[in-house]
Amino acid sequence: MARIVMKFGGTSVADLDRIKNVARHVKREVDAGHEVAVVVSAMSGKTNELVGWVQNMPKVTGADHSIYDAREYDAVVASGEQVTSGLLAIALQAMGINARSWQGWQIPIRTDNAHGAARILDIDGEDMIRRMKEGQVAVVAGFQGLGPDNRVATLGRGGSDTSAVALAAAVKADRCDIYTDVDGVYTTDPRIEPKARRLKKIAFEEMLEMASLGAKVLQVRSVELAMVFKVRTFVRSSFEDPDAPGMGDLLNPPGTLICDEDEIVEQEVVTGIAYAKDEAQISLRRLADRPGVSAAIFGPLAENHINVDMIVQNISEDGSKTDMTFTVPSGDVDKALRVLGENKEKIGYDVVQSESGLVKVSVIGIGMRSHAGVAATAFRALAEKGINIKAITTSEIKISILIDGPYAELAVRTLHSCYGLDKS
Ligand code: ADP
Ligand code: ASP
Ligand code: MG
């Protein structure tokens, strides 16, 4: 007998029939004698709709551009998960399972005060464990918790993954299964590259890079929690027949295990390719080349919560003027340009240029630590396809390359194939 947390994403609970299908997955584990808690997302598309309503409200009221109260944003967007948790509890009850829905505030899942992007601080698992031992199946609304102001707080897009892993850690679950619309983690997004291969296992660190570099199959924070609390996390499909052979396998369920790198016997040099759309590049021309100039640029951007990613500074020819280029999410360009404009005197630059609609493609693999020439292979392959590189950053286990948006899919496929990742 094991204790399992099962999480179902938006497409898995997209309508009533799918919710019934999810209930069959849950029933399989309950019938096998396991203690089960479930975490659900909102129906797919629902959260986007709710976010859209909130964003459009200031246009209707005539309020100052897109300003709205983040606490009320959370009150609205958390509602999608409330609906699916209730519906799944009803479906489970109809199958004779003792199920009950739980909102974040009822457990409670305590978060910090960062409404819209809150972090889970604490979940008291004891009561939940007691109920599980009594055979109750808790159906927990993902994506939401209770802030220190006693208000609903949401965890950022994709946050139900984090709810599930945090709950699994709190109840000391043997396994956390993230059910989604793909049957595991692939070498790259299988929607872009049909030749992508499913990975049997992927190391925490690699999954962390994949997620933070754009593979939205897991929210970044969920991978961090799984790594810190050693939660045995599987990514698997809810679209397979719940009663197909092997689906209830306790140790080796179908899907991808996120685990310590020591558990991976055959480590490849490159494990996967990720991509992130909607990057923008900002260049400051003819900056004074003096100590403090970077602080003068990036300090005010950080204060305005603008996430700067790749940074490239040129060496100045005569030691007096230089250029600085960096990337921000496309949605933040206008804000960034405003902040830079306000600080023009202090920073001391000549002109600022910006370009949106860029894409960052990344090559990820722990094996890079001990192999030379991985970056050169990427550059050569992209050059052969005539893809121009705008910026590069590297770390021990990843290379990120900034390119023009229209080349995204070609670049992903080119890199996937040049490292031998295509399935044969
Ligand atoms: P859910 O609604 O279940 O949370 P998401 O849409 O958030 O599902 O995440 C699943 C999607 O992630 C898949 O449909 C797939 O297109 C995308 N994805 C991106 N990169 C990968 C990858 N490397 N492996 C698997 N899926 C990926
Ligand atoms: N429903 C939320 C979202 O769409 C949370 C999630 O699906 O994980 O972002
Ligand atoms: Mg998701």
Read off the pLDDT band of 62 (50, 70, 90).
Answer: confident
Lowest mean pLDDT among 36-45, 82-91, 288-297: 288-297
Q: Which ligand is nearest to the CA of 190?
A: 1
272-418 fold? VC0802-like (3.30.2130)
46 assigned to a ligand binding site: no
Name every protein residue with a CB atom under 6 angstroms from any ligand 1 atom: 9-12, 41, 158, 180-182, 185-186, 188-191, 210, 215-217, 272
Write out pLDDT tens, residues 90-99. 999 999 999 9
Q: What is the DSSP letter of 193?
A: -
Distance of CA 216 from the midpoint of ligand 1 (Å): 5
Name every protein residue with a CB atom under 6 angstroms from any ligand 2 atom: 9-10, 41-42, 47, 80, 142-143, 157-161
Read off the pLDDT band of 315 (50, 70, 90).
Answer: confident
67, pLDDT greater than 90: no
CATH 3.20.20.80 fits 3-261, yes or no: no
47 assigned to a ligand binding site: yes
The answer, yes or no, to whether the previous bond of 108 is cis (omega within 30 of 0) is yes
29, pLDDT greater than 70: yes
Q: Where are the domains of the chain?
A: 3-261, 272-418
319, pLDDT greater than 80: no
61 assigned to a ligand binding site: no
Whole-number pLDDT of residue 66: 65
Whole-number pLDDT of residue 317: 74
